Structure 1
Amino acid sequence: MDRPNQSGNPEQLSLLDTQNEDSEFEELDDSWLEGDFGLDEESDRTVEPVARELLTLKLLREAIQAQNPGDAVMQDFAEIVLPNLLKYTVGVTAKGGKFFAEYLDRVVNPQRIAVGKDPIRRDNAADQSLNTHLLNGLFPANLIERRLQTLDTTVRRQVKERERRLLVSGFILHDFEKFDYDLIPRMPEEFRAIRRDPEGDIRKRSIEEHREIITVLVETLELDHFICPATPDDWQQYLDDLLFLAYNAQRRNDTNLNLSEDGLNPVLRDRTLRCLADLTCLADRLASIVKHPQDAENSGLNDIIHGLSDGQLRFTYHAISENRGVLTNVVNNALMDAYESLNIDPENPHYTTLLYLPTGAIYLASRDAPQISSDSLPNRVVDGIKALCAGQLSLRQTGFGRDGKGMKYADYYNLFFDDPGLMQVALDATLRIVNPNKGSVATKRSENLMAFQQRGVLSGDYDFSFSDDIRIDQLAEFGDLMNRKIWGERVNQLETVIKERAKERKKQKDLPELSEIKPEVLPENIIHKVAEFWQLSEYSPQIREIQRINEKLKELKLKGNTGGVPYEWYFLAAKFLEKNPGIEDLRETCSNVMAYVTQLTQPVVAQYPVADGWDDVREWVGKVVMLPGQTQETSTAEQVDVFLKELAYYKAAKKPGRGRQMICSISHSPYSVNEQMESAVLFTPQVYTNKQHLGGSNAKRNISSIAGIEMMLRQILMNQTQAVGKRFEDGKYRYLYFYPTYYFTP
């Protein structure tokens, strides 16, 4: 229907024109409302709840399946037994904690003391849940059993799939008295009452009662389906075999090796049973004894592995005396690589990493395995750090940033790259940070130069005007970074070497003298060489005046300074782009300059012996790594000497005036110490510390080279952003570390 509107345009409808609205709605066809949309139909569709799975179970299953591909026994354990094991054992104490408080301390030890015996030692009294105890023993024992299968041993001849399933089940049940019977649905009340009584001892009940308990546990944990997957009811024939393994997991207590006297009627042959009992005992001892890498030398563990392997295998280890975090992990990995590098035959390796501890590892070694060389370990650690970090630094340029003074980078880059390599990384970082999306500061630099000119610091005959252009910023910032910072730091290092050699020659005259660096390749002159390379030599006078701004201000007794801003490079970059206006991408231009500067500077570097910066790390590795056979006991005199040295360092740090010495505010390490720089740490360097001189103007903390390496590794390998220093700290990032109470297994 056509409706007039206030504008007179028939194609437009007025929002205020509603006089015929009702009549229009009356004419609408509403028959569509009578259609059948199926809303009255009954539906049998239900929304299925999302299946939920315990994260611990999911992770353990994935780990077991990944570590044991094609192993039906371990696959069935992960699918059938593990869910029930977690359900009934996670909160149950096996060692330490409630177990020691309610059983050993209140029952066993008073009885022992009453008869004149010493109380049970608590060396291994650390808290351990029943679940942790069982898995910590099962996984390494499984790896050992697989290794024994490759050798000429009784295990290879006697232990097949059925025996392995009984071995796993027997170990799971070996601490049957420690299960919380109140959690087991079908456990008779009689046994629950005994379990609740601190003075009750399930292990001292009759074999028939033990059979009843084991039967309930087997069915609760679904071990029947694990032992006999095809016919679960057939597991009953192995009941006494399981009891034999459970009884003999411990050799001092509750052993039951005499089958004829105790009424056990196992199905397996005697030799097979004893072999499985040894493996069960080994699993129990690994879970109970091992707390430190040095525990690999425990005589009980080595006696069992010697018997199982017919003398072909033994345990060994490496240990680290300090735990510094990521750096410790790098050292651990380097040592494991050193051991595994000796494996010539993959089918019969000399060393197999068995247990991973926070400060070391335990290996299963062949009897005639060669020893690793401790002399090569420091360089292996350094190579490992370089391999981890160099690629990441090239890719992400972590630690590079820009402030009001220009581009800057973390000092640790000098550890990974030579000058040409670092210049290439610096170019990538500059083009990433100073990108077209950022505003140019070229005009501000020009205005400041003209302000200096008006104050008489710069000659009035020169033109210092140029406008904003991000290409000027890119070229200037890279030129300054390459020249004043990268090459400048190298020159400072070379000059230090020259001075040290001069001091040494006073004591040792036959040392060759090191010549001074030629003036034309000093950082302040490199920019003039670049001007020549760009055919802009006519601007060298202006550049020299800009370089002398601070000196001129002092001569004229004027306030102010350049503040570290590379004005000379901004001026030269502006002139270069005036001459070459068509260049949009400066990467090739910068690469050509970089190649030219490298050609000038690298022959100079080759003339001087320069340390690579890793000497402290090499020394530290040599001190903290411990291998079997090394003397680890420190005499009292040596301990006193270490303490007195640390005290002397601390007092020297507090000393005012001359003779004051910097010490590390993080680890107190006796290594070279430098001031923390914000680009190299993940927190604000200006933090109060009692290891800094009170009342001083410098609030920055000092950091040793070893602690600095740890900070570097965390920044490179753990920081997923480009934030450093205060910006990182303000982000309130939190990291979750996983360290085992005992050990990890493959």
Structure 2
Amino acid sequence: MNEDELYKWLHSPDDDDSETPAKYELLTVRLFKEAIREAEGNQGEILLASFAENVLPNLMQQLVGATAKGGQFTEEMRRQKKNVERSKHDQSFTSHLLNGLFPTYRILKKLKTETPETNPVKRNCGETETALFIASYILHDFDKFPDYCEWLKTNDSEGKFANREWPKDPPHKDEAPNFGRDYVALKIQQLGLDSLLGENWRSHIDDLVWMSNNAGVKYDSDRGLEIRGLQPKLDGRIRGTIANLVRLSDLFASVIQHPSDAEANGLSEVLNSLSNGQFKFSYHSLSDNRGVLTNIINNALMDAHPSEFYTPLLYLPDGAVYLAKTNAPAIETAEIPNQVIAKIKNLCADKLKLKTTGFSRDGKGFKFGEFYWLFFDNRIHGS
């Protein structure tokens, strides 16, 4: 049995698997909801449960087919022979948002509960501020939402956008009238973010506009909004902490293609600032991808990281990224090969117990394949 056959066999559906999606709910949405609720560390998280129930379905419906970067814009820039290095790695908008939100949310919870010393998150982020972080990140690229161009044209009292070629000249946040307050308020309601922010969500519109515009250092940064008339209510230190969380989320979703990317592109600097140097990023990386065997090796390596010091954040085809305490011990890899072999045996044994592949019966009794001895011992259990 080669690797591809092993993968197909281990992942083949059981005979009694007849589960169907709920009548009025897409299967993908339902699976995402279950994944969010059941992920390690998410049990009892009221904000995440509310996000999964009230925001996620709207997000997936309204952003279907939309890309966070790349897409038609990249193709147009490439046609004009312009540099597309920053936007060539395309991904769906929904994937971009979820891939950035969840690892940062996990870091936020660790910073609030598992640091012996204080840090900006522990000082500045209660439930309200955490909800504002989620909403700010979801809205931080609102100028890329599919309906933004049409909204600009509808609210264009001066006719500035009448003949604009959007693929060649995409819209920007600062082109929205009234600082984009009206569009942000619209999306808060359409996406269900008001369910996270509470009944007084309108009082935080200017805070959300400020934080969605200041998640970056060079790009997506506009520190002059207050001078021009924006009136955020949150203390500047609190806004700065939330903006750093949004920036961390955006970096997670945008720059990490391989585990080693966690040590580049400013991620470590942002984490160091948020944690007061109490956490760092770590990773394990594989040089080759061999399908199911790579998955088993990845799992064995994750098991080798003690949970007291390491928290998995991102799972990639060639490795994983962890949040690590600065005093985390180095990982011993000498026993990894034996652990991988043991995992393969256990996986195959579990599947054989379910399907009894290789068993047959003739006039002389039962027969079974010799390969069973690879996965089960030869002890005879008497009564």
Shorter-chain TM range is 0.7 to 0.9
Partner of 1:205: 175
Partner of 2:274: 308
CA offset digits 1:530-578 (Å, max 9, x no partner): xxxxxxxxxxxxxxxxxxxxxxxxxxxxxxxxxxxxxxxxxxxxxxxxx
Matched, 1:368 2:338: no
Partner of 2:7: none
Deviation at 1:237, TM superposition (A): 2.0
Partner of 2:197: 227
In 1, Cα distance between equivalents of 2:120 and 2:369: 59
Checking the alignment, whether the CA contact within 8 Å between 1:88 and 1:183 is kept in structure 2 is no
Checking the alignment, whether the CA contact within 8 Å between 1:97 and 1:126 is kept in structure 2 is no
Deviation at 1:54, TM superposition (A): 1.6
Amino acid corresponding to residue 81 of structure 1 in structure 2: V
In 2, Cα distance between equivalents of 1:80 and 1:365: 32
Checking the alignment, whether the CA contact within 8 Å between 1:181 and 1:195 is kept in structure 2 is no
Amino acid corresponding to residue 135 of structure 1 in structure 2: L
**The one of 49, 57, 61 aligned to 1:75:** 49
In 2, Cα distance between equivalents of 1:210 and 1:370: 48
Q: Partner of 1:315: helix, strand, or coil?
A: strand
Matched, 1:121 2:91: no
Relative distance call for 1:132 and 1:166 in structure 2 (3 A) is: same
**The one of 229, 239, 245 aligned to 2:205:** 239
Matched, 1:137 2:109: no
The alignment's TM-score, normalised by the length of structure 2, stands at: 0.81
Checking the alignment, whether the CA contact within 8 Å between 2:50 and 2:195 is kept in structure 1 is no
Amino acid corresponding to residue 66 of structure 1 in structure 2: E
In 2, Cα distance between equivalents of 1:192 and 1:141: 37
Partner of 1:105: 78
Q: Which runs of 5+ in 1 are unaligned?
A: 1-49, 111-118, 344-348, 426-587, 592-746
Deviation at 1:142, TM superposition (A): 1.1
Partner of 1:352: 311
CA offset digits 1:669-695 (Å, max 9, x no partner): xxxxxxxxxxxxxxxxxxxxxxxxxxx
Matched, 1:154 2:128: no
Amino acid corresponding to residue 146 of structure 2 in structure 1: D
Partner of 1:57: 29
Structure 1 segments of 4+ aligned residues over 6 angstroms from their partners? 182-187, 402-408
Partner of 2:9: none
1:401-412 to 2 correspondence within 5 Å?
Answer: 401=360, 409-412=368-371
Partner of 1:88: 62
In 2, Cα distance between equivalents of 1:66 and 1:201: 38
Partner of 1:416: 375
In 2, Cα distance between equivalents of 1:319 and 1:89: 32
1:571-586 to 2 correspondence within 5 Å?
Answer: none
Greater Rg, structure 1 or structure 2? 1
Deviation at 1:130, TM superposition (A): 1.3
In 2, Cα distance between equivalents of 1:413 and 1:322: 30
In 1, Cα distance between equivalents of 2:372 and 2:223: 64
In 1, Cα distance between equivalents of 2:23 and 2:342: 47
Amino acid corresponding to residue 327 of structure 2 in structure 1: D
In 2, Cα distance between equivalents of 1:354 and 1:363: 5
Amino acid corresponding to residue 292 of structure 2 in structure 1: V
In 2, Cα distance between equivalents of 1:396 and 1:200: 55
The alignment's TM-score, normalised by the length of structure 1, stands at: 0.44
Amino acid corresponding to residue 134 of structure 1 in structure 2: L
Partner of 1:27: none
Deviation at 1:331, TM superposition (A): 1.2
Relative distance call for 1:204 and 1:186 in structure 2 (3 A) is: closer
Q: Partner of 2:335: helix, strand, or coil?
A: helix
Relative distance call for 1:225 and 1:57 in structure 2 (3 A) is: same
In 2, Cα distance between equivalents of 1:325 and 1:386: 17
1:588-667 to 2 correspondence within 5 Å?
Answer: none
Deviation at 1:323, TM superposition (A): 2.6
Relative distance call for 1:97 and 1:197 in structure 2 (3 A) is: closer
Deviation at 1:71, TM superposition (A): 2.1
Checking the alignment, whether the CA contact within 8 Å between 1:334 and 1:380 is kept in structure 2 is yes
Checking the alignment, whether the CA contact within 8 Å between 2:174 and 2:180 is kept in structure 1 is no
Deviation at 1:414, TM superposition (A): 4.0
Instruction: Calculate the aligned-residue CA RMSD, in Å.
Output: 3.1
Partner of 2:188: 218
Partner of 1:712: none
In 2, Cα distance between equivalents of 1:192 and 1:407: 78
Q: Which runs of 5+ in 2 are unaligned?
A: 1-21
Checking the alignment, whether the CA contact within 8 Å between 1:180 and 1:195 is kept in structure 2 is no
Relative distance call for 1:156 and 1:413 in structure 2 (3 A) is: same
CA offset digits 1:44-83 (Å, max 9, x no partner): xxxxxx9511222212222222333322222222222222
In 2, Cα distance between equivalents of 1:239 and 1:319: 42
Amino acid corresponding to residue 289 of structure 1 in structure 2: V
Relative distance call for 1:197 and 1:392 in structure 2 (3 A) is: closer
In 1, Cα distance between equivalents of 2:92 and 2:71: 9
Amino acid corresponding to residue 54 of structure 2 in structure 1: I
Checking the alignment, whether the CA contact within 8 Å between 1:351 and 1:369 is kept in structure 2 is yes
Partner of 1:585: none
Deviation at 1:220, TM superposition (A): 2.3
Partner of 1:321: 287
Checking the alignment, whether the CA contact within 8 Å between 1:195 and 1:202 is kept in structure 2 is no
Checking the alignment, whether the CA contact within 8 Å between 2:121 and 2:274 is kept in structure 1 is yes
Q: Partner of 2:266: helix, strand, or coil?
A: helix
CA offset digits 1:205-253 (Å, max 9, x no partner): 266242232233223223234312xx2xx32221121111111223221
Relative distance call for 1:88 and 1:319 in structure 2 (3 A) is: same
In 2, Cα distance between equivalents of 1:367 and 1:251: 26
Partner of 1:298: 264
Deviation at 1:181, TM superposition (A): 1.4
Deviation at 1:378, TM superposition (A): 0.9
- How much identity, in percent, do the aligned residues show? 42
In 1, Cα distance between equivalents of 2:239 and 2:50: 22
